[in-house]
A = this chain, B = another copy of it.
Amino acid sequence: MEIALVGIGKIALDQHVPAIAASPDWDLAATVSRKGSVDGVESFTDFAELLERRSDIRVVSLCLPPVPRFDYAAAAIAAGRHVMLEKPPGASLSECHRLIDMAQAQRVSLYATWHSREAPMVAAAKAWLADKTLRRLQITWKEDVRRWHPGQDWIWEPGGLGVFDPGINALSILTEILPDAIHLTDATLEVPENKQGPIAASLRFAHPAGAEVGAVFDWRQDGDQIWTIEAETDRGRLELHDGGARMVIDGIEQSADGPALAGEYPRLYARMAQLVASGGSDVDLSPMRHVADAFLLGRRETVAPFHE
């Protein structure tokens, strides 16, 4: 199937373009971007023009930041195209609900991707936790914003989510692997005095069986980068490291069962091919709802200004 990629920035070039190139399902037929392009692929600067001139391309993947993305998604769905969204699926929850309604009305597939859910050991962690009683779970997500988001000013602006941009990846894994639904009860958001978005946050959740569930996100991490989820249960201890790439059970490193597709983005594109083939949609807003709850319910503390 032919696919068009919209928004040729860092994440598109690092992840989407190689994943599409390696996929047996997809041909990259066109790009839309004000600046970027991909060698040998027809490029547009105007999305409306793509939709009009390339009616043969039935699927559109949107790699734009959340704030401008809604208008593109709405235009694509209105033009009868299947749509794949980078995370988070929107700048607001209400706009995501509108996209769901529009996709249903137009009978097209809508896929709100959560790339971290496709990390190698996430499915194994979910299977391991499924029959155990959780006692305690702690997320530690600490990275250096200068290294991972150089020059991305939008990430600090309203709608850019600040440290919740990586933090929502952790929450997407959490909501995937836990058998029970949780809800936020307390949050602290540390906001640099010259920014709108938080640079660090700590969250506490209520769990139906009373397990302690918490998260710490920090964008000021020097040295080792940490993307870890640790869970204590009635029958052992699970650790997910490196954002779900590695799993340790009771101190023993685990390996993935069976053949795994090479990487998160190839799996997302394989899933999108399935959804289009079956006429399905997959839009789970729970990670984003937790982030909205943290902004709604979180206590804000002003911290030192941040300069890239």
| Interface positions of A (Cβ within 8 A of B) | 67, 70, 91-95, 97-98, 101, 158-159, 161, 181-185, 187, 196, 206, 208, 286, 289-293, 295-300
**Shortest distance in angstroms between A154's beta carbon and chain B's nearest beta carbon?**
13
Cα-based distance from A98 to B183 in the complex (angstroms): 8
> Out of B159, B289, B299, which one reaches A297, CB within 8 Å?
B159
Check B92 against A297 for contact (C-beta < 8 Å): yes
With A97-B289, A286-B94 as contacts: A70 and B183 at CB distance below 8 Å: yes
User: Which of chain B's residues have a CB closer than 8 A to the CB of A67?
Assistant: 297
Contact B181 A97 (CB under 8 A): yes
Q: Is there contact, CB below 8 Å, between B94 and A93? A: no
Known: A295-B292, A295-B295. A94 touches B181 (CB 8 A): yes
20 pairs from A and B in contact (CB 8 Å cutoff)? A92-B184, A92-B185, A92-B297, A93-B292, A93-B293, A93-B296, A94-B183, A94-B184, A94-B290, A94-B293, A97-B183, A97-B289, A98-B181, A98-B183, A158-B187, A158-B297, A159-B297, A291-B296, A292-B293, A292-B296
Among residues of B, the one whose C-beta sits closest to the C-beta of A66 is B297
Please name all residues of chain B whose beta carbon is closer than 8 Å to the beta carbon of A292 when the two chains form the complex: 93, 292-293, 295-296
CA distance A70 to B67 in the complex (A): 32
Given contacts A70-B183, A98-B181, A101-B181, is CB(A92)–CB(B293) below 8 Å? yes
Contacts of A101 in B (CB 8 A): 181
A78 to chain B: closest residue by CB: B208
A67 smallest CB distance to B (angstroms) = 8
Cα–Cα distance between A290 and B299 once the two chains are bound (Å): 19
- A95 contacts which chain B residues (CB < 8 A)? 183-184, 206
- Min CB distance A94 to B, Å, is 4
- A90 vs chain B, min Cβ distance (A): 8
Which residues of B lie under 8 Å from residue A299 when comparing CB positions?
158, 196
- Please give, as numbers and ranges, the residues of chain B lying within 8 Å of A97 by CB-CB distance: 181, 183, 289
Across the interface, name the chain B residue whose C-beta is closest to A191. Answer: B300
**Closest beta carbon of chain B to A172's beta carbon, Å:** 14
Roughly how many angstroms separate A187 CA and B158 CA in the complex, as a whole number?
A: 9
Bound complex: CA of A293 vs CA of B291, how far in Å?
10
CB-CB under 8 A from A208, the residues of chain B are: 98
Q: Which residues of B contact A291 (CB under 8 A)?
A: 296
- Nearest first, the 4 A-B pairs at minimum CB distance are A94-B183, A92-B293, A95-B183, A292-B292
Q: Output the least CB separation between A112 and chain B (Å).
A: 15
Tell me the complex Cα distance, A70–B295, Å.
18
Complexed CA–CA distance, A98 and B184 (Å) = 11
Judging by beta carbons under 8 Å apart, are B158 and A92 in contact?
A: no
Given contacts A183-B70, A289-B97, contact A92 B196 (CB under 8 A): no
